[in-house]
Amino acid sequence: MAGIALSRRYLWVGTLLFSVAPLIAVITGNDPQVTWTMSIVGVFYVCLRGLPGLWVGLLVAVLNYASVSSFDGIGLGATAPVAAVLAFAGAAAGSALRGQRQYWQELEQRARDALVTRESEANRRVAEERLRIARDLHDVVGHEIALINMHLGLAEVGLEPGDTATRSSLHAAREGVQTVLRETQHILDVLRVDSDIESTRPVAAYEEIPDLVDSFRAVGLDVDLTLPAALRLGAEVSAAAYRIVQEALTNAQRHGMRSATITGVAAEAVLTLTITNPVSPLAAPKGRAGYGLVGMRERAQSAGGHVSAEERSAMFTVTAALPMDGGLSQ
């Protein structure tokens, strides 16, 4: 027992101690049966810990055989081969169990390595795709927007001095182009850096909806806006609210009668936005949902909410329900 206990800290010292224990028992005139039985338990343990099963098994088998066969007790000499075989069996069992344990550990490590490799590959592909999108935005969208801005400036310069209405419209259009350029630049910055809280922060917010409405009013859309003030919203929810209102007003301007109503209600930790506009009789016939409605639904879902849209009695209604984080500020 002392040898087995000692082998937990000093593996070879403990092994030698319980290996010679049966022989010491015979020399001192004691029955070696208990000691050689305990030596088999010790063999199993040390082989499980990592000692080579062949050499430990051979050592204990020889000592067990020698001690039992030399004992003068009645009938014990016949058990010497059994003691030797059991020593080898204990060593084999310990080594086999250790090998199985190592096998499962290797499988788990391979699975972890494969997972890390897949994640690294996925991250690499995402990074490459982000860079590709950034290049396309810069080369195509940025170039075209710059041309639009230039032509608007030339048109404004060529106006008659008294044409204030057209000049005002062109000025509003140039401001809109500048806003698009700023947001596009921010998107490019996000796409070209690693994801983090600062770099991926939304480019729009709930608090900017009144300014957004003013920009639509400047181009002739009559908007009636009623929103709860001083809301504390999560970044994703705030951006989703802004983009949903923006898309709904864009649709109202394109397909409506140049008027829209926006109503917001904050209740039970949910912000509900309702945007309605009369539908023009000249609007395009109904078909599959456009990308604008799809984008609004995706925005709402990314913030944990949902969007519904319907046309009834020549009125088009978009309703967005978005969860609030924190509720009303004090």
| Domain positions in the chain | 2-110, 206-330
Whether the predicted pLDDT of 214 surpasses 80: yes
Q: What percent of the chain has pLDDT over 90?
A: 18
Cα separation, 262 vs 119, whole angstroms: 43
Rounded CA Rg of the chain: 41
Greater model confidence, 126 or 100:
100
**Interval 307-324: pLDDT, tens:** 999 999 889 999 999 998
pLDDT band at 222 (very low <50, low <70, confident <90, very high): very high
Whether the predicted pLDDT of 164 surpasses 90: no
Return the closest-CA partner of residue 239 out of 179, 304, 289: 304
DSSP string, 16-33: HHHHHHHHHHHHTT---H
Greater model confidence, 129 or 262:
262
- Residue 110: per-residue pLDDT: 86
DSSP string, 49-64: HT--HHHHHHHHHHHH
- Over residues 43-53, the mean pLDDT reads 78
Residue 99 DSSP symbol: H
- 150-159, 180-189, 266-275: least confident range: 180-189
- Residue 329: per-residue pLDDT: 43
- Residue 182: per-residue pLDDT: 75
Return the closest-CA partner of residue 7 out of 52, 45, 64: 45
- 69-73, 132-136, 153-157, 235-239: least confident range: 69-73
Whether the predicted pLDDT of 183 surpasses 50: yes
Residue 139 DSSP symbol: I
Q: What is the mean pLDDT of the chain?
A: 78
Greater model confidence, 109 or 284:
109
The residues near 130 (Cβ < 8 Å, ≥ 6 apart) are 191, 192
Q: Judge: domain 206-330, CATH 3.30.930.10.
A: no
pLDDT band at 115 (very low <50, low <70, confident <90, very high): confident
- Residue 326: per-residue pLDDT: 43
The residues near 102 (Cβ < 8 Å, ≥ 6 apart) are none
Greater model confidence, 263 or 231:
263
Cα separation, 102 vs 97, whole angstroms: 9
- Residue 213: per-residue pLDDT: 92
Most confident of 118-122, 123-127, 294-298: 294-298
Whether the predicted pLDDT of 289 surpasses 80: no
- Residue 9: per-residue pLDDT: 65
- Over residues 112-120, the mean pLDDT reads 81
Give the three-state DSSP class for 161.
coil
Whether the predicted pLDDT of 92 surpasses 60: yes
Residue 192 DSSP symbol: T
For 91-117, give one letter per residue: b (16+ CB within 10 A) or e. Answer: bbbbbeebeeeeeeeeeeeeeeeeeee
Burial degree of 232 (CB within 10 A; 0-12, 13-18, 19+) = middle
Give the three-state DSSP class for 150.
helix
Cα separation, 5 vs 14, whole angstroms: 7
Cα separation, 164 vs 161, whole angstroms: 7
